[in-house]
Amino acid sequence: MFSIKLPIKILVNQAGIVKEARILDDVDMLRKIGNTESSLGVIEEIKMERDLMGKLLMISLKGKLDIGIVLTYPLTPVPLIFCHLDGTINRTNKAVLYKNLEKRITSDTPQEIDAYIIEGFFFLHLMSNNLLSTFEAIARVLFIKLCSYKGKQIHLIFDHIVYPSIKDCECDRRSDGDRSVEYGNIGNKQRRPGNFLKTLRNDNFKRDFVKFLITAFEEESLSEIMRNKTLYMTEGSTCYCYKLVDGKILKSTEGSMSSSHEEADTKIIAHLATIPPPANVVIRTSDTDVLVIALANNENIRRGVQTYLEVGLSSNNSLRFINVTKLAVKLGPLLCKALTGLLKRSTLLYRM
């Protein structure tokens, strides 16, 4: 394996603490082993092993090297768009893209709303401060809030929790405990955990709580709250539909909206594609990915359906709407597709 030793100048104080360390940039020095003398008079040999860059450096010392051509090829075992050199996942600040896209248009609040599509676990986080002591009371509070949204159709979309998952690494980073600990049965009269948000990081609790809501929303006492609403709710790969029939809540399976997708992000767009025109549809989520996915799939949404994103919080006066349909027209279909990474990088050049 090829390697090159780069000389590094080190300054050490009397206590042996390194005060300065920098790579010498003298070309002649790069041709020999870096023996450097510290302020203590000790000769030290410093190595920095970089096989790839070292080889490029040696080539450049012997002749001309066009680094522009070199960088057009993948130079690492794993593309750096996926991870850093140490193997950790490469993350970008998606909020930067979000703000860049949002400022390209002027969005108004929709006057009429026909359907609301809500990301499930985000909804639970929003409601965490208003939850009562028992699970039965929690289900009722959540149902009342869902039916208070404008529009005749309400879609509550949850992640499909599976193991192993591509999201495991990120979820482990956010969690401060074991996500797979068994929680136990969830019953109507059972008291909720003291720290509800912390418990929501447990995969088993999330899965069981959604199953509990599926049954709890059939409660006969909720029929007077539902009125003319139609509620769609996902659990795992199944979608359930709740309607008021002869004064009672009727639950059925909605096959056209069932999906094995793991992420709620993509399920949201699948539900959006089923809504008939004309309609104004609002998606309530905090995830930037939903905006990008919605833009990329705008051509798959039925003509006459106007899509909005409701983002921010009323508590800090940041609540606002983004007209996704208008933004998709502004950007054009090619750029909307490129944002997802499905097209070549050159598609983005001079367009952002």
Lowest mean pLDDT among 179-183, 213-217, 230-234, 324-328: 179-183
Mean pLDDT of the chain: 81
Residues 169 and 127 in one domain: yes
**Would 79 be classed as within a structural domain?**
no
Residue closest to 303 by CA, chosen among 278, 322, 328, 272 = 278
| Rounded (10°) angle between helices 94-102 and 324-331 | 90
| pLDDT reported for residue 298 | 95
Q: Is the pLDDT of residue 245 over 80?
A: yes
Residue 77: what pLDDT?
66
Residue 26 has pLDDT above 60, yes or no: no
pLDDT at 207: 93
Q: What's the domain range around 49?
A: 8-69
Are 57 and 100 contained in the same domain?
Answer: no
Mean pLDDT of all residues in 87-113: 85
pLDDT at residue 241 greater than cutoff 80: yes
pLDDT at 158: 97
339 pLDDT tier (thresholds 50, 70, 90): confident
Dihedral Cα 321, 325, 329, 332, nearest 10 deg: 100
231 and 283 together in one domain: yes
Pick from 63-72, 154-163, 175-184, 228-237 the range whose average pLDDT is largest. Answer: 228-237
Same domain, 265 and 331: yes
What is the percent of the chain where pLDDT is above 90? Answer: 50
Same domain for 234 and 307, yes or no, is yes
Give me the DSSP letters along 191-243: BPPSSHHHHTT-HHHHHHHHHHHHHHTT-GGGHHHHTT-EEEEEETTEEEEEE
Q: What percent of the chain has pLDDT over 70?
A: 74
| Residues 115, 254 within the same domain | yes
Residues contacting 116, CB < 8 A, separation 6+: 149, 150, 151, 153, 154, 155, 281, 282, 283, 284
CATH of the domain at 103: 3.40.50
Q: Are residues 104 and 168 in the same domain?
A: yes
